[in-house]
């Protein structure tokens, strides 16, 4: 289909989301593979016309990963995850349990990093995969946590709330 109004195609949201998608793809593939994919894409399509599908296929070829689900969710789907959660620390067994939920529809399948912060500016990062409406994750940790932060390194496009400690 042809776009009659270029403002529909070339909006601030289009460029900002496109930048986020590339940022998330870089994190998913790793810097060296992502850069190799960009260089191969550029060398192949320099001074030629290319589509998003061409880019996806080139990144799949270089990475060896099936990126169709990633592109379907982030480029061709709508919205982004709406995440919330809470956490509880069990002093007796030294485990933290984190409850994570997403409230939008359709549901996303996303890797979520959880920053577990302790005194003396120490932290641990745990990575989980959330692919349903909610998940419960338990980790053995050393020390009493002060807070839990969603995506502490800012890799994921999402809307979220602060994690509250469950009392």
Write out 106-137 in H/E/C secondary structure.
Answer: CCCCEEEEEEEECCCCCEEEEEEEECCCEEEE
Q: What whole-number distance in Å separates Cα of residue 158 and Cα of residue 167?
A: 26
Q: What is the DSSP letter of 152?
A: T
CB burial of residue 148 (10 Å; 0-12, 13-18, 19+) = buried
Residue 112 reports pLDDT greater than 60: yes
> pTM (2 decimals)?
0.86
pLDDT computed for residue 11 by the predictor: 61
Average model confidence (pLDDT) for the chain? 92
Tens of pLDDT along 35-86?
999 999 999 999 999 999 999 999 999 999 999 999 999 999 989 999 999 9
Q: What whole-number distance in Å separates Cα of residue 53 and Cα of residue 56?
A: 5
Q: What is the DSSP letter of 145?
A: -
Instruction: Calculate Rg over the CA atoms of the chain.
Output: 19
User: How far lies 120's CA from each of 91, 96, 117, 126, 145, in Å?
Assistant: 19, 19, 9, 19, 11
pLDDT computed for residue 16 by the predictor: 85
């Amino acid at each position: 289909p042809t776009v009659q109004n270029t403002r529909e195609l070339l909006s601030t949201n289009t460029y900002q989301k496109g930048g986020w998608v590339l940022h998330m793809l870089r994190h998913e593939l790793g810097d060296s593979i992502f850069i190799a994919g960009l260089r191969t894409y550029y060398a192949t399509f320099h001074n030629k016309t290319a589509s998003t599908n061409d880019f996806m296929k080139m990144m799949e070829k270089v990475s060896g990963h099936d990126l169709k689900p990633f592109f379907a969710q982030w480029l061709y789907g709508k919205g982004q995850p709406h995440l919330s959660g809470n956490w509880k620390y069990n002093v007796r067994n030294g485990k933290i349990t984190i409850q994570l939920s997403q409230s939008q529809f359709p549901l996303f399948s996303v890797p979520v990093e959880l920053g577990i912060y302790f005194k003396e500016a120490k932290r641990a990062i745990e990575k989980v995969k959330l692919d349903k409406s909610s998940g419960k994750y338990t980790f053995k940790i050393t020390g009493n946590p002060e807070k839990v932060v969603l995506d502490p390194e800012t890799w994921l496009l999402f809307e979220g709330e602060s994690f509250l400690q469950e009392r």
